[in-house]
Amino acid sequence: MKKEVRKRKWPKLLLGTFGIMAIIVIGALIFVNGYIGKSVPVTSGEIDLEVLDADVTVIRSEIGVPHIAADSDADLYRAQGYVQAQDRMFQMDLSRRQASGRLAEAVGADAVNTDKFFRTFSLRDAAEKSWEGYDEETKRVLEWFAEGVNAYLQEAKENRSLSYEFALLGYEPEPWTPIDSLAIGKFMAYDLGGNWSTLAIRHFALNEFPEDKAKELFIDYPDHAPSIIEENKNQQVAVAGRFDASLLPPEFNGSNNWVVAGDKTASGLPLLADDPHLGLSTPSIWYQMHLKSPEQNVSGVIFAGIPGIILGHNEDIAWGVTNVGPDVQDLYIETPNPVDPTQFLYEGEWEQAEVRDEPIAIKGQEAEPFEVVVTRHGPIISNVIYEEEDPEALFSMQWTALEPTLELQAVLKFNKAGNWDEFEAALEDFQAPAQNFVFASTDGTIAYKANGRIPIRKWGDGQLPVPGDSAEYGWEGYVPFDELPTLVNPEEGFIATANNEVVDDSYEYHITDFWAQPYRYQRIAEVLEASDNLTKEDMMALQMDQQNLYAREFLENMVNAVRKETDQHEEVLDMLMEWDQVDSPDQAAPLVFHKWMKQLPKTILADDFPKDVYKLLPGKNHITDEMMRQAFGGHEGVWVSEYGGVGKWLSDALDTSLREIEQDFGDDFKSWEWGDYHQLTFPHPLGGASPIFAQFLNPEPLPVGGSNITVQAAAFNAEGNVNHGASWRFVADLSDLSSAYHIVGPGLSGHVKSDYFHNQVDDWAEGNFHETPIDSAIEGSSLILNAD
């Protein structure tokens, strides 16, 4: 018998109520959809733009790359400002606010500590000082760019078509200024040039642990500097409870780049590849563009809010960067006057510091008073967020980026350079952050320079904080430009960098002791050395390479150490030994290996540090890697011996890692996959405010391979979210510079309803590159910006 299905009868009142609610919800959705749709960038047709001298054409390709063609540089940069603002105005506004310490004005009291931090780090102050040093041509470019941004803002306000984020936060952006662009540039120097926290942690370690234990936390312990060590012990600065680790740049900020000479390529001319590793977000930190005027024809990427092209190519040359990571931030132990805390001891006298009154404006509240105190060395950073009453000692920070620097002047010269001599001359203006530049030109030249201001110290090598009360310490200039590491047309036929050590012991000057782990560089060199017939397709494939050389170095010894300690986990250990050491998303071994490696520092170090100090501790795996090397070589260090030996340490860490994996993915290790945990995310800044926003603004997570130590850079957080990696991929074949090959995940537009919002997420995961031409063969939607 067929079961009767009875229809539920709702009371008429409820039916009517539900109907009204449905109409309201549908109406609200239609309104919201229409409202948001008003701010979608206009990419075709015509727009009148009063600031232009002549008409400008903007063609957006099928993936959203704007190709801007103008009759003059003035109109080119005006149009660049306008187009960037169309796609990225909210991002641009947040960027200038963060760099300037003005987020709380827009988002409220939760951002006050962030604002205090960046006011203290003085990025906007440094931008204002840099403006004075720029030549008139660069100042004009900044002004033209600002005119274009402001033309968009005026139009959007008049048409009530500002991006919806401004309505959500309840404010309108202010007019754009040239200093805003320079402040964003200074923020990138902050993101790429920090080592102050390393010095603070070393200072803490010397005062917290016996010297033999503290020594193992250094990459290279300064045995030659006992007086500095004693100074750090005698005058202790509070570290625990004083700093917010969440405001530090990501530890894995770095990059890969390489350039191959024509002798090793199929075409007989060079190949160049670059993929900068930064935070992965919606929208991308990069904005890809093509700029063309009678004076230049250049293509590549730039940070939203800045004119020009910082990385890319023109008709004659191509270039890319990785982070050098030199020691460009020094901490000084300052002694404040107990009577007047704005005075500090120097050469036996109390010296008055500069005091900047910088009240923090807060949305919906009264401004909070705040002062930035700046000694002769730099700003006091110890008590930015967590105040300390009557401290006996504080840290101040000296940093190259806080001085007037001229990066944008260099960038604009890159765009028009035609050979290595012109490009290298432009590099002299690129001062902070220090970058490894690789270069190739159509004349066959390949070259490299580690470029930027690298301090020469009066005493010591910057591994520890130094006394601020003595003239014996400080900087006495920078490594001369002509003596920076440089290489042109080497016999090996290629040059590659991956934040690895770029000098040997014979180099006269100190750069740093804190280089990246060598595995990405070693893999790149391994592949490039193996062929003399390389193609652009080989370069793209290498950028997606998932070979794990970290496991090659350590895994066998790790497994053997555990087997000597215990008979547990035999099947899992067998699986690890049979693994091909490729971080592919469909294998279990990468999941076990990486969870295990991440657990090692927690197991041996975390309990001995306050939680906030442990979070600040940089290079945790650098430290435990060296502990393993010593132990496997028969020389167990103090930390390992006190723990109970290398076998116990590794076994305990593996136990913890496997328990965590089993909780998330079950106890059948044969069903585990790296991609189930390791998933690509491009979070939007508003996505964390609400699950509803996240649903609309963040792309669906995707399983991906690679890791933080493979050439396919895909660093991940504790939840497995891949939130850091190749923010842009770029390959150029110098045999044909009429185009090049790119991926910018998740897409080029910052607008949720744009076709270019998340259209490159799958491409990023799969390595699907897009060809971007700079010749006349450009197709797409056409927008004419009409001069009035």
User: Are 66 and 774 contacting, i.e. CB atoms less than 8 angstroms apart?
Assistant: no
Q: State what percent of residues in the chain have pLDDT above 90.
A: 86
Domain edge (last residue) among 635, 655, 672: 672
pLDDT of residue 252: 67
Whether 11 has a pLDDT exceeding 70, the answer reads no
User: Residue 531: which residues within 8 A CB-CB, separation 6 or more?
Assistant: 264, 538
CA angle 283, 286, 290 (to 5 degrees): 120
In a domain? residue 256: no
Tell me which of 195 and 285 has the higher pLDDT. 285
Number of domains in the chain: 3
> Could you tell me if 563 and 657 lie in one domain?
yes
Catalytic: 651?
Answer: no
> Could you tell me if 94 and 31 lie in one domain?
no
Number of Cβ within 10 Å of residue 1's Cβ equals: 3
> Could you tell me if 20 and 106 lie in one domain?
no
pLDDT of residue 219: 79
Q: What is the pLDDT of residues 730-765, one digit of tens each?
A: 999 999 999 999 999 999 999 999 999 999 999 999
> Could you tell me if 35 and 145 lie in one domain?
no
Q: What is the pLDDT of residues 219-247, one digit of tens each?
A: 777 766 788 889 899 899 999 888 888 88
Q: DSSP class of residue 582?
A: B
Average pLDDT, the chain: 93
pLDDT of residue 387: 67
Whether 5 has a pLDDT exceeding 70, the answer reads no
In a domain? residue 166: yes
SS (H, E, C) 375-433: CCCCEECCCCCCCCCCCCCEEEEEEHHHCCCCHHHHHHHHHHCCCHHHHHHHHCCCCCC
> Could you tell me if 592 and 627 lie in one domain?
yes
User: Are 287 and 525 contacting, i.e. CB atoms less than 8 angstroms apart?
Assistant: no
Band (2; pLDDT cuts 50, 70, 90): very low
In a domain? residue 658: yes
In a domain? residue 541: no
In a domain? residue 33: yes
pLDDT of residue 3: 35
User: Residue 9: which residues within 8 A CB-CB, separation 6 or more?
Assistant: none
Separation of alpha carbons 78 and 726, rounded Å = 29
Mean pLDDT of 527-550: 98
625 is in an annotated binding site: no
Separation of alpha carbons 353 and 381, rounded Å = 13
Separation of alpha carbons 638 and 216, rounded Å = 8
Instruction: Name the token pair of 550.
Output: 């970290």
What is the CA 536 to chain-centroid distance, rounded?
26
User: Are 289 and 755 contacting, i.e. CB atoms less than 8 angstroms apart?
Assistant: no
Band (370; pLDDT cuts 50, 70, 90): very high
Whether 35 has a pLDDT exceeding 70, the answer reads no
pLDDT of residue 244: 86
Band (32; pLDDT cuts 50, 70, 90): low
Q: 98 is in which domain, residue-wise?
A: 45-190
Domain edge (last residue) among 146, 172, 190: 190
pLDDT of residue 9: 37
> Could you tell me if 23 and 57 lie in one domain?
no
330 is in an annotated binding site: yes
Q: What is the pLDDT of residues 301-326, one digit of tens each?
A: 999 999 999 999 999 999 999 999 99
End-to-end distance of the chain based on CA atoms, in angstroms?
79
Cα maximum dimension of the chain = 103
Whether 14 has a pLDDT exceeding 70, the answer reads no
> Could you tell me if 136 and 124 lie in one domain?
yes
> Could you tell me if 96 and 36 lie in one domain?
no
User: Are 216 and 210 contacting, i.e. CB atoms less than 8 angstroms apart?
Assistant: no
In a domain? residue 20: yes
Residue tagged 């203290």 (tokens): 120
> Could you tell me if 626 and 662 lie in one domain?
yes
Backbone angles phi, psi at 98, to 5 degrees: -65, -45
Q: What is the pLDDT of residues 40-50, one digit of tens each?
A: 999 999 999 99
pLDDT of residue 7: 34
pLDDT of residue 227: 82
- Residue 394's identity, in one-letter code, is L
In a domain? residue 91: yes
Domain edge (last residue) among 159, 190, 221: 190
Separation of alpha carbons 618 and 744, rounded Å = 28
> Could you tell me if 17 and 115 lie in one domain?
no
Separation of alpha carbons 433 and 407, rounded Å = 9
Q: Spot the catalytic one: 255, 281, 284, 396.
A: 255
> Could you tell me if 17 and 147 lie in one domain?
no
pLDDT of residue 210: 94
> Could you tell me if 69 and 129 lie in one domain?
yes
In a domain? residue 654: yes
Whether 30 has a pLDDT exceeding 50, the answer reads no
Helix axes 73-100, 123-131, angle to 10 degrees: 150
pLDDT of residue 174: 97
pLDDT of residue 693: 86
Instruction: Name the token pair of 479.
Output: 């490594």
